[in-house]
Chain A
């Protein structure tokens, strides 16, 4: 029995195997956003009709920002839920849609056929998506009354998730503004 070979072999193989085993605990597609807990990047964007939305002016009310596109299947999936949410928390939570790398005409057509849950904002050059570090649609950011990003959903939002975050957003009292 050659102990040296045994020890060196185990010393190299075991860590590698352990690391690979740990790999199963993570989904390589999902990257945690470093922006959670940070102030939401402010922006001014025009919607399809040319109305300007300024995030700054919405301070005091929680905001849900959803980056979406017509080509993204999970976006279709979450559409009815967002409709429902926007209706339910009308006036209490603002729902904003930001178009992610898609054609405004297609968005308009989609909205006409399926209804809207908030303004569809045109993000020219994708700058807002970059400021929010969006990897791909849909991604949803939840912003509290103070303008802090409290959570982020990657992929279609689930009802449980929306309900949970909305309750948190509504529970937190406004500090300075109101």
Chain B
């Protein structure tokens, strides 16, 4: 019964998406208002169907209806309520259903928020989005059907979700954030497709497109950060980023998404780089599909891989189809997007943006090649190889350092950059800040080149960011003297937001550089009463106990932490043992301070009551997460309409946002 209801909703979604795609394209070609209305209704129907399907699945999970195969696969009577709710995305079929839900919500949002002023683009946009929706509902209805009835006999209990996913509440938010990022990239993609099909990309369409790009990029940022945080809090190896293939897969669209956001700035200001921005958005979308494929096909060795399943080839087919469509569409239509003649100097704001794009795309390509090279080696040489952390660090660190430098230099440079005197002044003024950064690094014992370079660049970038971000305040005071500082900042919240994001990036960069350079660790086998020392800390093992909880047994060690003769509290690193799982899963205990983290993992518990304890002291870890939170906050600021837009909205017209006469391509 439940199975049939769920499958019914999925089928409804598939039908709505299929017809919506067809009607949308027809309405686009014929510029038919009635066709657009119908397409919008089908888009909303698709969203309703997805919401319905997910609601049915949640109902089945919560009522432990093991006659639904997905529930039999991930459900368990012993699993706590909140984990049962999250188990919707804890395994392959459910995660694709959840994916469908998010896509449905995005499509509905696009259909609702973009309905005014963009009729000629909207039909194509919705058609493209519904095409993607048709693929996913097809997947759910065929090879990845979570609603399939369990073959009899229906079990009375299930194994419960993967214990790694049960271990920490971050698992509740990390996948949804990533999905919101991944799926959301479909929207700017569909809008770019619409622009190509229309054969024009004016400022009126560019602005919402950048916004729809900004939203998923920021979800992706948050999702990647939460994944790192989860890895840090749960996996117990003391790090947050292992360059695992699936981590890389989420990183790829993030890199090109950010590149597109930056090239969009140039397009908005100068009317150049139009085709390039569109290409970047399309690459970003293809990379999200590639990433999903890598995660779900099992072709790469990864923490995150779901087991091998027939879904892999189907996904590869979809990826191939999308890639072919994108290439052909670009080849046919790219010349219709006429950019203003380019006229850039290397040492100018435009030049910095070009280099920024060069570095982001190179970084993406490096990570992509490193991630799929093992498959190449296996196919051509028949040998399994690994491309791992040492390689990626060696390659990515210089590129990131370059980006950090550009983040300082770029915003300091004037647009056009034609006046050498102006350029020289702009580049000289932040130098003292760079010197301060360098001096601080030296003071705290930084001796390695990467740390010193990052510190100097970070100082430079911080100064420029603050200077540029607060410029409206000074300009306002000089000119009118009227408005308060906050009000003048909010005249252009997108501009302010951009610099807030840059500020967050500097914080995160510095924290990553410092934390990876100055990490120290110690390891020992301890019996009760014995002490492990590390970096000023004394960790005394008091004893271990076995805690029994409904769905797990936990070995918990009591470790008293003190430094400088003062007690710093008690930490409880533990090892969780789940029924039906062989390997116990460690949960580290972390003491976080503003300066550093003390990170304890229980390696093992001996029969004689001794424990293997590993302690890691890492400086500034918390600032990595704080930096990302700042970035996300900055993005939120960017989404606030500018003063011009608010006025335009009040007048119910479409604002012309291009300041230069070159701006519109209409």
Task: Point out residues on A near B: beta carbons under 8 Å.
Answer: 1-3, 5-6, 9-10, 13, 16-17, 19-29, 31-32, 71-72
Q: Is the CB of A23 within 8 A of B384?
A: no
A–B Cβ pairs within 8 angstroms, 19 of them: A2-B330, A2-B335, A5-B327, A5-B334, A6-B330, A13-B286, A13-B324, A16-B290, A16-B372, A17-B320, A19-B375, A22-B379, A23-B299, A23-B372, A24-B299, A25-B379, A28-B301, A29-B301, A32-B383
Q: What CA separation (Å) do A32 and B327 show in the bound complex?
A: 38
Q: What CA separation (Å) do A22 and B582 show in the bound complex?
A: 32
Q: What CA separation (Å) do A106 and B533 show in the bound complex?
A: 34
Closest A residue to B300 by beta carbon equals: A28
Q: Is the CB of A5 within 8 A of B330?
A: yes
Closest chain B CB from A22 CB (angstroms): 4
Q: What CA separation (Å) do A19 and B96 show in the bound complex?
A: 24
Closest chain A CB from B281 CB (angstroms): 14
Interface residue tally for chain B (C-beta within 8 Å): 35
Q: What CA separation (Å) do A87 and B335 show in the bound complex?
A: 77
Judged by a CB distance under 8 angstroms, whether B529 is at the interface is no
Q: Is the CB of B383 within 8 A of A2?
A: no
Closest chain B CB from A5 CB (angstroms): 5
Which of B312, B331, B379 is in CB contact (< 8 Å) with A5? B331
Q: Besides A2-B334, A20-B293, 8 other CB < 8 A contacts?
A: A5-B334, A9-B331, A16-B372, A20-B375, A25-B379, A26-B375, A26-B378, A28-B299
Q: Is the CB of A17 within 8 A of B331?
A: no
State the main secondary structure of chain B at its contact with A: helix
Closest chain B CB from A36 CB (angstroms): 13
Q: What CA separation (Å) do A106 and B574 show in the bound complex?
A: 23
Judged by a CB distance under 8 angstroms, whether B316 is at the interface is yes
Contact A6-B372, Cβ < 8 Å, known A20-B316, A23-B300, A28-B300: no
Interface centre among B327, B328, B332, B335 (most CB of A within 10 A): B327
Q: What CA separation (Å) do A160 and B569 show in the bound complex?
A: 60
Judged by a CB distance under 8 angstroms, whether B313 is at the interface is yes
Q: What CA separation (Å) do A71 and B372 show in the bound complex?
A: 33
Contact A1-B375, Cβ < 8 Å, known A9-B327, A24-B297: no
Question: What are the residues of chain A within 8 A of B376 when measuring CB–CB?
Answer: 19, 22
Which of B286, B308, B320, B372 is in CB contact (< 8 Å) with A19? B372
Question: What are the residues of chain B within 8 A of A72 when measuring CB–CB?
Answer: 582
Q: Is the CB of A24 within 8 A of B313?
A: yes
Q: Is the CB of A20 within 8 A of B331?
A: no
Question: What are the residues of chain B within 8 A of A25 when measuring CB–CB?
Answer: 379
Judged by a CB distance under 8 angstroms, whether B26 is at the interface is no
Question: What are the residues of chain B within 8 A of A24 when measuring CB–CB?
Answer: 297, 299, 312-313, 316
Contact A17-B301, Cβ < 8 Å, known A5-B334, A22-B375: no
Q: What CA separation (Å) do A27 and B384 show in the bound complex?
A: 10
Question: What are the residues of chain B within 8 A of A1 when measuring CB–CB?
Answer: 331-332
Contact A20-B319, Cβ < 8 Å, known A29-B301, A31-B384, A32-B384: yes
Interface string of B289-329 (1 = CB under 8 A from A): 01001000111110001001000110010011001101110
Closest chain A CB from B608 CB (angstroms): 13
Q: What CA separation (Å) do A26 and B298 show in the bound complex?
A: 10
Q: What CA separation (Å) do A19 and B319 show in the bound complex?
A: 13
Q: Is the CB of B379 within 8 A of A28?
A: no
Q: What CA separation (Å) do A22 and B300 show in the bound complex?
A: 11
Closest B residue to A11 by beta carbon equals: B327
Closest chain B CB from A18 CB (angstroms): 9
Q: Is the CB of B297 within 8 A of A9?
A: no
Closest A residue to B369 by beta carbon equals: A16
Q: Is the CB of A10 within 8 A of B319?
A: no
Q: Is the CB of B320 within 8 A of A6?
A: no
Q: What CA separation (Å) do A3 and B323 show in the bound complex?
A: 16
Q: What CA separation (Å) do A174 and B327 show in the bound complex?
A: 62
Q: Is the CB of A23 within 8 A of B334?
A: no
Closest chain A CB from B277 CB (angstroms): 14
Closest B residue to A28 by beta carbon equals: B301
Question: What are the residues of chain A within 8 A of B372 when measuring CB–CB?
Answer: 16, 19-20, 23
Q: What CA separation (Å) do A9 and B379 show in the bound complex?
A: 23
Closest chain A CB from B296 CB (angstroms): 12
Q: What CA separation (Å) do A31 and B383 show in the bound complex?
A: 8
Q: What CA separation (Å) do A19 and B376 show in the bound complex?
A: 6
Q: Is the CB of A28 within 8 A of B298?
A: yes
Closest chain B CB from A97 CB (angstroms): 19
